[in-house]
Amino acid sequence: MPDSSPSSSRPPQVGRRTLLGAAAAATAAPVVLGSASRAAAAPAPRKKPRALPGGGDLGPNVLVFDPSTPGIQARLDEVFRQQESAQFGTGRYALLFKPGTYSGLNAQLGFYTSIAGLGLSPDDTTINGDVTVDAGWFNGNATQNFWRSAENLALVPVNGTNRWAVAQAAPFRRMHVRGGLNLAPSGYGWASGGYIADSRIDGQVGPYSQQQWYTRDSAIGSWLNGVWNMVFSGVEGAPAQSFPNPPYTTLATTPISREKPFLYLQGSEYRVFLPEKRTNARGVTWGNGTPRGTSLPLTQFYVARPGVSAATLNQALEQGLHLLLTPGIYHLSEPLRINRANTVVLGLGYATLIPDGGVTAVKVADVDGVRLAGFLVDAGPVNSPTLLEIGPRGASRDHSANPTTVQDVFIRIGGAGPGKATTSMVVNSRHTIIDHTWVWRADHGDGVGWETNRADYGVVVNGDDVLATGLFVEHFNKYDVQWFGQRGRTIFFQNEKAYDAPNQAAIQNGSTKGYAAYRVGDAVTSHEGWGLGSYCYYNVDPTIVQHHGFAAPVRPDVRFHNLLVVSLGGQGQYECVINDTGSPTSGTSTVPSTVVSYP
């Protein structure tokens, strides 16, 4: 096992989330010189680089188990000890289980740790035991349990209920829990998650203290309660629509979805499965056995290791290979350029891209069917104008039959050290699906301050017909989300305004007090959102007033359902919910102000 990074051994920093829960290149070719009487010869032709191989070993930080592997529990525990409190450490791990049955395991997951089965169906890989996330490292507070995932496993929990007490960037995908699921930490302390997709929970899901949650295209036995904002789309067994009391937003189906690509074994061969697009989806994709879609052999992927250059990654892409990013940290001196339709970039174990010198980390052309999934982009200390671009400016092609998907792609500015980016994610291509992202300007960790990790804008959508399912965007200096494309839709939005604003003047937006968390552009004529929440906690200056959480043109086809704003413990206040509509938050009671329908 690699040594823990220095940062992994630091005590946890007690940031605002403690209080939130309480509130509820190539060189030139040589020139060949002739005699003095002759002109210089032409430069020698540059040799074409040797083709890169596809496939290969997954590297030391991908741990693969089968039922006969000795010492599985000890190995799991070893990884957990390293990663449990390494919130801004450099360790990255993927724990992969070959199809079969495993008994007596408790896989506790720390930071940057992913666990997954290697079957085509979750039921191909059964753990008689638990996959646990708890919050002992942080005194029972689960609001910083970020960056970990579970995927493609069946669980038979030891006591009948599995514990998954997480916050943002912790997806629970393609899981079958043959029992219940508890989303709160031991002792029912504070929690701030979360996301479930394509999963079946046979028993009850108990959020308890979870403040917000989004569940998509799944099946559940029942759902216990809600705190502020619980959203369901395409979920069999979901509670009925009842916002704001209880705060359930329920859509019978998800308009468009396409599940995340995943690694699996066909015999002894690794392949990547690409699920097909569904419309008006409801329930899991794997309920009748083999899911629908296509697959690619690993030989069609460049299997990248940390330390590889951006030039090599781009050579692989230009060569026609897909990318599999094995766990670790990748420094990029130039953007990854994805110019070929249907390219897959899949990360394992929270593979992390850091753009150096202010470059953009990833640029996607205006092409069909690109799939980006399972990696983290961490801003570098030199300001990047953008970190992730889906389509160039002015992109206008129709991708409705085969959209680009961005799934479990997370963006961070600051926290692991100073980072800056003017805009984190820009979506220019039409019909893009953003399916679970957390775009976060850090409010705690290293390199954090109003100007230290400056980041004005979180997500900017310019493309038409873009759908977001599970949009988490927090703490930007100005607008968190700006949406300029037509016919955009968002199902579930979670936001916190930047806590560290020094004073009212720092956030003043012309004559408006503060920048909206979610702004729809003035020229937009059609837009719709369901289950959107914004919270403020202006602890540096609690007298700051935020006029509203949401801003949009008043038009009949610009519609919102089930909006809320919350002032956490009276640290700052909202005057309205959307535009000039909705009651102000007041006092220190941390009670949401809601608008059920707008306009």
Active site residues: 496
Amino acid identity, position 256: I
Contact 543, 571 (CB under 8 A): no
Omega cis (within 30) before 261: no
Nearest to 82 by CA among 144, 5, 185, 14: 5
**3-state class of 318 per DSSP?**
helix
CA distance 432 to 362: 15
Residue 268, number of CB atoms within 10 A of its CB: 6
In terms of phi and psi (left: phi > 0; alpha: psi -120 to 50; beta: otherwise), the region of 574 is: beta
412-429 per-residue burial string, b: 16 or more CB within 10 A, e: under 16:
bbbbbbbbbbbbbbbbbb
Contact 557, 530 (CB under 8 A): no
List Cα–Cα distances, 59 to 62, 89, 327, 487, in angstroms. 6, 19, 8, 43
Helix (H, G, I), strand (E, B) or coil at 552: coil
Contacting residues for 163 by C-beta, under 8 A, at least 6 apart: 130, 132, 133, 134, 182, 184, 185, 186
Phi, psi of 452 (to 5 degrees): -65, -50
What tokens were used for 198?
Answer: 């394509």
Which burial class, exposed, middle or buried, applies to 160 when counting CB atoms under 10 A from its CB (0-12, 13-18, 19+)? exposed
> Closest Cα partner for 365 from 400, 335, 385?
335
φ, ψ dihedrals at 367, nearest 5° = -130, 165
Conformational region of residue 484, where left means phi above 0, alpha means psi within -120 to 50, and beta covers everything else? alpha
